[in-house]
Structure 1
Amino acid sequence: MPANKKYLTPSPWQRFAKITAAIFGGLMVSVLFHMALASWVNHVTVIITSTFSAFILWAILMVVGFLGKNGWKTWGIYLLTSLLLGVIFYIGNQTNPII
């Protein structure tokens, strides 16, 4: 049974934005989240745990990337989240340097 046309994204640019935001944006947020977490708590524990939790978080972010109507807005949210997590990682790395 084919999908109802009113629920499909008509624009190829929106489809491209949703797919790339889901794959690359979700991966970027997932990795930066674990890097920021590792800069504040025990980094060995976070690295070991991230082998499973990073994949689960990435899968969740991929699904969330397709839920929105505008793929570019999803990209914006993922980029802002990545920027925030990057700042948290930078501050944590300056405060708690790993030697």
Structure 2
Amino acid sequence: MPANPKYLTPSFWPRFLKITAAILGGYFVSITFHLALAAWFNRAAILMTMAFTGFILWVALMVIAFLAKSGWKIWGIYILLSLLFCLFIYLGQTYNQPAH
């Protein structure tokens, strides 16, 4: 049974934006999230569990990207989340430096 045409994306760019947001945007959010956690908590433990939880989060973010109505909107959300987590990484490295 073929798919209903009203649910298919007709043009190239919306489909391309969703695919790239799912793969690249989801990866960036997943990695920056775990690095932000590592900047504030036990770095070794976070980075060891990142191999598993990072993949699970990445897959969840892929699903969310394909459920979104607009590729531009999901890219904007993923970029803002990545920048927010980069800010947390910066602050964590600034305030959690060991004393020399």
State the Cα deviation string for residues 54-87 of structure 1 (Å, max 9, x = none). Answer: 0000000000000011101100000000010000
Q: Could you tell me the TM-score, scaled by structure 2's length?
A: 0.95
Unmatched 5+ stretches in structure 2: none
In the superposition, the TM-score normalised over structure 1's length comes to 0.96
CA RMSD in angstroms comes to 1.2
- Answer yes or no: is 1:97 the counterpart of 2:97: yes
- Aligned with 1:10: secondary structure? coil
Q: What displacement does 1:98 show?
A: 6.3
Report runs of 4+ in structure 1 exceeding 2 Å deviation. Answer: none
Task: Mark the runs of 5 or more structure 1 residues left unpaired by the alignment.
Answer: none
How do 1:1-99 and structure 2 match up within 5 A?
1-97=1-97
How far did residue 11 of structure 1 move? 1.8
Matches of 1:97 and 1:9, distance apart in 2: 49
Amino acid at match of 1:2: P
Q: State the identity %.
A: 57
The 3 A distance-change label for structure 1 pair 8 and 80 is: same
The number of aligned residues is 99
